[in-house]
Chain A
Amino acid sequence: MPIDPYRDYSYQEQLNLDLTELFGAGWRDEKGQMRPEIQGVGVAATAIQAEADGVPVQMMGRLATTAAEMSLEETRTYPDDLVEELEKRDHPKLAGLIRTGLAACQNEPDFRALARWLALVHHLMVVRAGHQEL
């Protein structure tokens, strides 16, 4: 079921949302901006699902850092660079989602959107981890 960027999703809905089609319409809209369903519900649901899957915030931070440093060309040469840690530490669901996102990248601006999306997911996980400590 496609994600409706203009609808409120509950925590439970986001936890169970099938994200495999998140990048089906590409990374960016006709104005070149990250698609609203990716930067809105997509970020929140990914963060919630990663958290539920036990992905450490620090691991997500390293993932975002690596993506920020890489180019699409380099990622195509070394596709494992982004997902190696997730896969070796037994988080195949998020790794699979990122591989799907990589496959949806048509050009460098798309890949920059992916890197920004990962940074947003990381930020949200940091915020949520902070709130959980309160």
Chain B
Amino acid sequence: MTQRRSVTARKVNYQRQKRRLAARHALQLARLPENLSGGTPAGYLQGQTDRLADSRLAAAQRQALAVHYGQQQGNRHLQRTMGVALVQRDDEGGVCGPTTEPGVCEPRWSETDRQTLFGGIDPEVITLIQAVRVQPALDRLSEEDYVLFRSLLDRAASTLEWLFLCKALAAHRAVSDIEIFAATIQGMSERWLKRNLSVVNTGVQAEQNVCMPDQQGIIQQYGNSCGPTSVQVIRAQSDPIYALSLRSAGPIDQAPDQALSNPATIMNPTLASEQQNILNAHNAAGVGNAPTDRTNPTGGAWIESNLNALSDNTGLTYTTKIIGTQADQITMDQAILTLTISLALGIHVPVVVGGSQGDTAHYVVVMQAAGDRYQIHDVATGDTVWRTLAQIRSGQLNLPSGHQMLTAVDVPGPAPQPAP
């Protein structure tokens, strides 16, 4: 049986990690380009958004800047910077619960919590937009749920485990679900956590046409379920409990040629049935095609309504914008700007690709950006690959599915605010 560390040892280690993180952030802030390191007066929302999205920033510097904003002006300000819904909180970062003294608000979220959370931002774990949703979600909990959730955080065996519990809360999962989840992931290694709580291997560095077979991720089960699979990517990368449930149902990186005509060959019935249900619903509504075998790829469905149905999990809504020259379309420059800003904030962006402008053939998901490189998960093959800005602009994506050109973007926006 695995020997557990004592509570005292864990606390000492925890404090040590915090000090290391603070030192690392200070170092990264000191290395910021000159015109990015200035003060951050309240109200300069656009300026701060631009700074966070600045392509000159390395991931660690962007993370440090986010922590800096969070420390200086609170998560509330940071969340507003990113255009995300807010909840009512008092100015000191505390909430008044039924057990607190009259007139005294005990903070539920400490400075240490904040540092741990923002210090843990990592594409493979929790993104900036998800981290910003944690504190409002915590504040909305009943006192009973808060006490239970806090006890789960206290029992987390590692910072990574702690972060995934926070991510589940940010996805608005019920604390009762998170309690079961916490028991499942308790004490598991970093490799296990990163592998099992995600459906895309965002740690892939490959620039070649396809990634290594052991780096593949979720794959569409039908000939036309690229859209529904992209919905699953968006949901699973926001909600680790959902990601774990998909992976618990069987392999996610394999697909039968004939899932429709020979369903017995399906390896992961949950994965396949969700994709099938989305396509069938669109087909029944007359706005899409029923699923086909992978041997017979054809048109599927626009999936923005499905993405928007996840807004409680993601905090986001998506609007499809075709790239072109007509009045209701966006230019390639606007599409790239949307990608750059969204990815800097840790928002995954479903996009449509095709053979030429106007050819809206296939959904893929852009997972992250680093400098002028963009990481794309191609759900047709399960490959995660990097492509450069120049390749996007020139229509030479050469994706594993064979598509070359970015033809539409699902532009993210803030979800409607929940009722107070």
> Taking beta carbons and an 8 Å cutoff, which residues of A are in contact with B?
58-59, 61-62, 64-66, 68-71, 74, 78, 80-81, 84-85, 87-88, 90, 119, 122-123
Contact = CB atoms under 8 A, between A and B. Distances in A.
7 contacts: A61-B247, A62-B196, A62-B247, A65-B252, A70-B214, A74-B214, A84-B192
Contacts of A74: 214
A90 B1 contact: yes
A34 B252 CA distance: 22
A69 B216 contact: yes
A52 B195 CA distance: 27
A88 B214 contact: no
B390 interface: no
A68 B195 CA distance: 12
B235 to A, nearest CB: 17
B309 interface: no
Contacts of A65: 247-248, 250-252, 268
Given A58-B248, A123-B250, 5 more contacts: A62-B196, A64-B250, A65-B247, A65-B268, A71-B212
A122 B250 contact: yes
Given A62-B196, A69-B216, A90-B1, A119 B191 contact: no
B187 interface: yes
A68 B251 contact: yes
Interface string B176-194: 0000000000011101100
Contacts of B214: 69-71, 74
B254 interface: yes
Contacts of A62: 196, 244, 247-248
Nearest to B382: A69
The main secondary structure of chain B at its interface with chain A is loop
Interface string B159-189: 0000000000000000000000000000111
B187 A88 contact: yes
Contacts of A119: 250-251, 267
Contacts of B249: 58, 61
Given A61-B247, A62-B247, A71-B214, A84 B253 contact: no
A79 B196 CA distance: 16
B192 A81 contact: yes
Contacts of A90: 1
A4 B216 CA distance: 37
B213 interface: yes
Contacts of A70: 214
B248 A61 contact: yes
Nearest to B253: A69
B188 A88 contact: yes
Contacts of B100: none
B99 interface: no
Nearest to A72: B214
A89 to B, nearest CB: 9
B192 A68 contact: no
B6 interface: no
Given A62-B247, A74-B214, A68 B253 contact: yes
A66 B214 CA distance: 9
Contacts of B216: 69
Nearest to B251: A68
Contacts of A71: 212-214
A123 B264 CA distance: 11
Contacts of B267: 68, 119
Contacts of B244: 62
Interface in B246-282: 247-254, 267-268
Given A88-B2, A119-B267, A69 B251 contact: yes
A71 B215 CA distance: 10
